Amino acid sequence: MELTNSIRKTVASLGNAKNRVQERCFIAEGTKCVMDTLPFFSCRYLFATALWVEKYKNWLSNINVIVVKSSDIERMSQLTTPTQVLAVYEIPQYTFDEAKLSTNLVLALDRVQDPGNLGTIMRIADWFGIKDILCSSGTVDAYNPKVVQATMGAISRVKVSQMDLVELIKRNTNVPVYGTFLDGQNIYETQLSATGIVIMGNEGQGISTELSQLVNRRLYIPPYPQNEMTSESLNVGMATAITISEFRRRISK
């Protein structure tokens, strides 16, 4: 197969969410990102320079690589500084099994909008063994090129599903639902379960009012020392790391 103008334009268009939905494809760029994702997704195209193919040929025995020039990758790339390899994968179709809510800890994101934050949160989930992230509408697309890069390969192991979180919780009233709030209970002094849903909210507005009303275990991450002035709030990625780390610390005891 050769790189045609039609293919080049299609790949370049995948930076747009509408086109990703239409083509059911997303992009991964750079050696680490491609190597980490290649075994896990159906690859429609793999573009690489001759120099890159020669260097990594032992990894590519069963992969059909389209050898291109650096300038070709630059025209398709979503990066400021394009690399020597770009993969186009088919977006997988996941159906979240709600039975997992009673056997696993699941992370839910309410309107997290920054691609870097979502990518970081997916890395955190991967590190702490959380396999599913549920996203409300308004949360950035997990297959946005900036998200994919920020996950550093975690997108291969963490499944992201978009759904109506309010309806999900209403269907599962016996499931513990955690969320972080300024008026919550100190996370280090509160009993935590090994299963349930942990909701993290929007960067500026936190968890929506409708979802907040369904949270039955409100948590608070205290600053230290508590009697001194500190930052107004934590970045959602940092807050997620602290929260999930505490859940896992309790389980490992």
Residues 14-44: tens digit of each pLDDT: 999 999 999 999 999 999 999 999 999 999 9
Interstrand relation of 85-90 and 159-162 (parallel, antiparallel or unpaired): unpaired
What secondary structure letter does DSSP report for 206? B
Identify the band that residue 224 occupies on the pLDDT scale cut at 50, 70 and 90: confident
Mean pLDDT, to the nearest integer, of 228-247? 90
CATH of 98-252, one of 2.160.10.10, 3.40.50.300, 3.30.1330.10, 3.40.1280.10: 3.40.1280.10
Angle subtended at Cα 13 by Cα 10 and Cα 15, rounded to the nearest 5 degrees: 140
pLDDT for the residue numbered 228: 76
**59 pLDDT exceeds 90?**
no
Classify each residue of 9-29 as buried b or exposed e, where b means 16 or more C-beta atoms within 10 Å of its C-beta.
ebbeebbeeeebeebebbbbb
The residue written with tokens 């120099």 in the block is 51
Per-domain residue ranges of the chain = 5-90, 98-252
pLDDT for the residue numbered 252: 63
5-90 homologous superfamily = Ribosomal protein L30/S12 (3.30.1330.30)
The residue written with tokens 């997620």 in the block is 240
In angstroms, rounded to a whole number, what is the distance separating the alpha carbons of residues 81 and 59?
24
**82 pLDDT exceeds 90?**
no
